[in-house]
């Protein structure tokens, strides 16, 4: 599935948040959206998964206008793990994963045998089959994120939008979550905070600054010391790691007086 975004703009009242965003995600690609806090990463994603309505711009999914699709149709094509994971009510892990089947259900429909199989497969894939009956509220941050990913896997979409999926997780969980996503072999557009992780997992990157796309390209093209300094205001040393073959970014903070 291919996603094409053309000249997308969004403003809260008169206050523009993102302006003239154009990006594409080709089938099978893992594309990262990076940029400092408040640069508009989440806003771009929210406009794509229709939590916000853009003021201008076109979004095409395989040549179809995304905004012309019904909510239900869109939910069978795009799966989303957003930043909402505060749940004020008790649900079991299994019930939450079962919600992923919602777009395929009509009013009154119960879960069929096929749904149950898909749900248990998703749980097994994320390695949380043993927690199926546990209460979501009692899980740790990393476990919760695995449950939300299992839900989106049960949704069976070819395209995933992830909004900082590794936020608040320890490094072990960060890598585990991104490995799970990478191994799904679906098309992914993800907002990421950690530049080293972005370099390791993404095929291409878009850098956002003040609501505009500042630069785009492969991690090697985008993650140069100059651009990192321009966007984040911090000096960095960028090298290729001999074992992984991926970029390795070392930050050089001013307090260390390295000149």
Partner 1 sequence: MGANDSYFSGIKKIFNREQPRMPVIIFCLILVAVISIILAIGLGPVSVAPATVARIIGSKIPFLKEYILPTWAKVDENIVWGLRFPRVLLGMIVGSSLSVTGVAMQALVRNHLADPFILGVSSGASATATLGMLFGVFSFLGPYALSISAFFGAALTIMLVYTISRVRGRINIPQLLLSGVALSMIMDAVTRIITLSAPNALGLHNVTYWLSGSLAGAKWGYLTLPAATICFCMIILLANHRALNALLMGDETAGTLGFNVGRLQKMLVLVSSLMAGTTIAVSGTIGFVGLMVPHITRLLVGSDHKRVLPVCALLGGILVVWVDVAARLIIAPEELPIGVLTAIFGGPLFIWLLKRNTARR
Closest distance of CB 67 from partner 1, Å: 13
Helices (H), 37-140: 41-48, 71-77, 93-98, 113-125
Query: Residue 136's closest CA among 102, 73, 186, 93?
Result: 93
Closest distance of CB 78 from partner 1, Å: 7
How many helices (H) does the chain have, and how many strands (E)?
9, 12
* Between 75 and 249, CB nearer to partner 1: 75
Closest distance of CB 116 from partner 1, Å: 13
Q: Does 120 bind partner 1 (CB under 8 A)?
A: no
Helices (H), 102-218: 113-125, 141-154, 171-183, 195-201
Closest distance of CB 18 from partner 1, Å: 16
Radius of gyration of the chain (CA): 19
Binders of partner 1 in range 55-114 (CB under 8 A):
70-76, 78-80, 82, 84, 86-92, 95-96, 99-100, 102-103, 105, 107-110
Closest distance of CB 25 from partner 1, Å: 17
Residue 205 CB coordination number (10 Å): 24
* Between 110 and 242, CB nearer to partner 1: 110
Which residues are CB-contacts of 155 (< 8 A; sequence separation ≥ 6)?
Answer: 75, 76, 79, 100, 101, 103
Residue 75 CB coordination number (10 Å): 19
Binders of partner 1 in range 155-214 (CB under 8 A):
155
* Between 15 and 63, CB nearer to partner 1: 15
**157, 186 contact by CB (below 8 A):** yes
Closest distance of CB 88 from partner 1, Å: 6
Binders of partner 1 in range 22-61 (CB under 8 A):
46, 49-51
**Binding region for partner 1 (CB under 8 A):** 46, 49-51, 70-76, 78-80, 82, 84, 86-92, 95-96, 99-100, 102-103, 105, 107-110, 133, 135, 155
């Amino acid at each position: 599935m291919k996603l094409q975004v053309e000249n997308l703009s969004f403003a809260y009242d008169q206050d523009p948040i993102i302006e003239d965003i154009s990006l594409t995600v080709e089938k099978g690609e893992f594309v990262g959206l990076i940029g400092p806090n408040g640069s508009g990463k989440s806003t771009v994603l929210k406009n794509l998964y229709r939590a916000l309505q853009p003021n201008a711009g076109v979004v095409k999914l395989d040549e179809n206008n995304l905004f012309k699709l019904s909510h239900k149709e869109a939910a069978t094509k795009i799966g989303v793990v957003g930043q909402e994971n505060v749940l004020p009510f008790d649900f079991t892990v299994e019930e939450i994963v079962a919600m992923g089947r919602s777009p395929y259900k009509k009013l009154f429909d119960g879960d069929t045998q096929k749904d149950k199989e898909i749900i248990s497969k998703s749980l097994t894939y994320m390695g949380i089959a043993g927690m199926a009956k546990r209460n979501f509220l009692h899980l740790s941050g990393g476990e919760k994120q695995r449950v939300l990913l299992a839900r989106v896997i049960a949704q069976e979409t070819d395209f995933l939008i992830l909004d900082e999926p590794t936020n608040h997780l320890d490094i072990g969980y960060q890598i585990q979550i991104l490995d799970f996503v990478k191994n799904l072999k679906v098309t992914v557009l993800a907002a990421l905070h950690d530049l080293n992780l972005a370099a390791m997992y993404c095929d291409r990157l878009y850098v956002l600054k003040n609501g505009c796309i500042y630069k785009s390209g492969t991690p090697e093209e985008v993650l140069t010391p100059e651009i990192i300094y321009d966007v984040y205001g911090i000096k960095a040393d960028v090298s290729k790691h001999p074992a992984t073959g991926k970029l390795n970014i070392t930050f050089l903070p001013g307090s260390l007086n390295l000149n």
